[in-house]
Structure 1
Amino acid sequence: MLRYALAIVSAPLAFAASVPVTAQQSPADDINAISNHLRAMTTMTANFTQTSRNGQLLPGKLTLKQPGRIRFQYGKEANLLIVGDGKALTMIDYEVNQVQRWPIKNSPLGALLNPERDLSKYGKIIPTRNPNVLSVEVRDPKRPEYGVITMIFTKVAGAPAGLRLDGWVSLDSKNNRTSIRLSDQKFGVPVANKAFNWTDPRRKGRRGR
């Protein structure tokens, strides 16, 4: 099961990439709008559906708190947990009591979890048919092993800086592709730091969720 966890953080969005292109505002304006949203989005909760390249669907609950904290709480379909504590991402497969951990900056999710990152250096706007939908592809050309993430935002009044994150696609250095769709997004909700705690199954020998 850990291969699915690796795919979610390893990283243009499938449900938006097939639409035709139309004229939009300047790419620089769009990059600035997305950067403003990421800085304004202090917390978010949402339902997510992860689709792996083999078509498997895994639902769950996403909790995010800037900077750097994120939790992917999978449903009963997968005995998995992914947690970011501000510095590193930890991926736990409770089915086999396996844990992997690496710096957030080495993952495509670093673009989402570091609101101070200069997207103008790493981001490229991908045009979409809908002027209310923004798509940005983020990669570090000097670090191709970090992968690529393409995030999709919709312009929504009342959302942080007027944008709502609707999902992303991650592509790792081995071209493993995973898409995430979000729904029922809620912003600015109280989120305690303990929400990003987890139990190490190698010590406890239990699920520890």
Structure 2
Amino acid sequence: MIIRSALIAAALVAAPASAAPTLADVQKALGATQTLSADFVQTGADGRQARGTMLMKRPGRIRFDYGPKSSWLVVADGSRLSFVDYKVSQVSQWPVRQTPLGVLLDPNADLARVARIVPEADNPRPGTVAVLAQDAKRPDIGKILFFLAPDSAAPGGLRLTGWRVTDAQGNLTTVELSDLRHNAPIADSNFRFKDPRPVTKPPGRAG
């Protein structure tokens, strides 16, 4: 009995620890995620929170719906990311690839060039894989720190749990995801929106 216990203990000591996920593993997990829907909680730089639902469809499409009581909508249609404020009838737009979210939405994003895994000692969310992505050639875009948790049920074995975006001015926005659903069909119509801006008619010709 003593000999058997000693052999078991020796085997446990000798067993190699599971390897930590690499950037290649993260790239594989993102590549295996074609669509994603989730609930989210967003915390702005001023500490205010907003809640809603998120839809993601790679490449290039994402939608943050803040609910019927909100006048805000954030949606990317594959090429442009739009912030829509129906209360003031304004739309602000940027190319998706020129936003921090581009690294999550672009299947051709080269993580080896723009990202690194944060050491465990510096990871603000222990138990997750923290990836910091920032294009050194485009510091004006800002940076994103996103988190993935080991999950055998998720594509590639890693589940996206949220991110922190820091813009060029240093403002921090945090998004936490829950109730994730992977690779279910999502219609492209979800990534279009009704433009609230008034239509301006071209001036008529002088008679």
TM normalised by structure 2 equals: 0.82
Q: How far off is 1:116 after superposition?
A: 1.7
- The unaligned stretches of length 5 or more in structure 1 are 1-22, 205-209
Taking a change above 3 Å as real, the CA distance of residues 178 and 24 of structure 1, as seen in their structure-2 partners, is farther
Identify the residue that residue 101 of structure 2 maps to in structure 1. Answer: 109
Specify which of 45, 49, 52 is matched with residue 53 of structure 1: 45
Matches of 2:198 and 2:119 in 1, distance apart? 48
Structure 2 counterpart SS, 1:34: helix
1:96 alignment partner AA: V
Q: How far off is 1:93 after superposition?
A: 0.5
Matches of 1:196 and 1:140 in 2, distance apart? 26
Structure 2 counterpart SS, 1:201: coil
Q: List per-residue Cα deviations over 1:83-110 (Å, max 9, x = no partner).
A: 1111110110011111011101110000
Does the 8 Å CA contact 1:53/1:178 hold for their aligned counterparts?
A: yes
Taking a change above 3 Å as real, the CA distance of residues 77 and 181 of structure 1, as seen in their structure-2 partners, is farther
Q: How far off is 1:78 after superposition?
A: 2.9
Matches of 1:36 and 1:132 in 2, distance apart? 19
Matches of 2:88 and 2:101 in 1, distance apart? 25
Q: How far off is 1:131 after superposition?
A: 7.5
Structure 1 counterpart SS, 2:84: strand
Kindly, what percent of the aligned residue pairs are identical?
38
Identify the residue that residue 142 of structure 1 maps to in structure 2. Answer: 137
Residue 99, structure 1, aligned to residue 91, structure 2: yes
Larger radius of gyration: 2
Taking a change above 3 Å as real, the CA distance of residues 24 and 92 of structure 1, as seen in their structure-2 partners, is farther
Matches of 1:144 and 1:103 in 2, distance apart? 15
Taking a change above 3 Å as real, the CA distance of residues 119 and 203 of structure 1, as seen in their structure-2 partners, is same
Identify the residue that residue 67 of structure 1 maps to in structure 2. Answer: 59
Identify the residue that residue 156 of structure 1 maps to in structure 2. Answer: 151
Q: Which has the higher contact order (CA 8 A, sep 6+)?
A: 1
Q: How far off is 1:24 after superposition?
A: 8.2
Runs of 4+ displaced beyond 2 Å: 23-26, 75-78, 127-132
Identify the residue that residue 192 of structure 1 maps to in structure 2. Answer: 187
Taking a change above 3 Å as real, the CA distance of residues 165 and 92 of structure 1, as seen in their structure-2 partners, is same
Taking a change above 3 Å as real, the CA distance of residues 73 and 55 of structure 1, as seen in their structure-2 partners, is same
Does the 8 Å CA contact 1:58/1:75 hold for their aligned counterparts?
A: no
Identify the residue that residue 115 of structure 2 maps to in structure 1. Answer: 123
1:46 alignment partner AA: A
Structure 1 counterpart SS, 2:146: strand
Does the 8 Å CA contact 1:51/1:57 hold for their aligned counterparts?
A: yes
Matches of 2:130 and 2:71 in 1, distance apart? 31
TM normalised by structure 1 equals: 0.81
Q: How far off is 1:127 after superposition?
A: 2.3
Q: How far off is 1:25 after superposition?
A: 4.1
Aligned length: 180
2:161 alignment partner AA: D
Q: List per-residue Cα deviations over 1:148-203 (Å, max 9, x = no partner).
A: 00000001011010010000000010001000000000001110111111000114
Q: List per-residue Cα deviations over 1:95-134 (Å, max 9, x = no partner).
A: 1111011101110000100022110011011123687510
Residue 78, structure 1, aligned to residue 76, structure 2: no
1:168 alignment partner AA: W
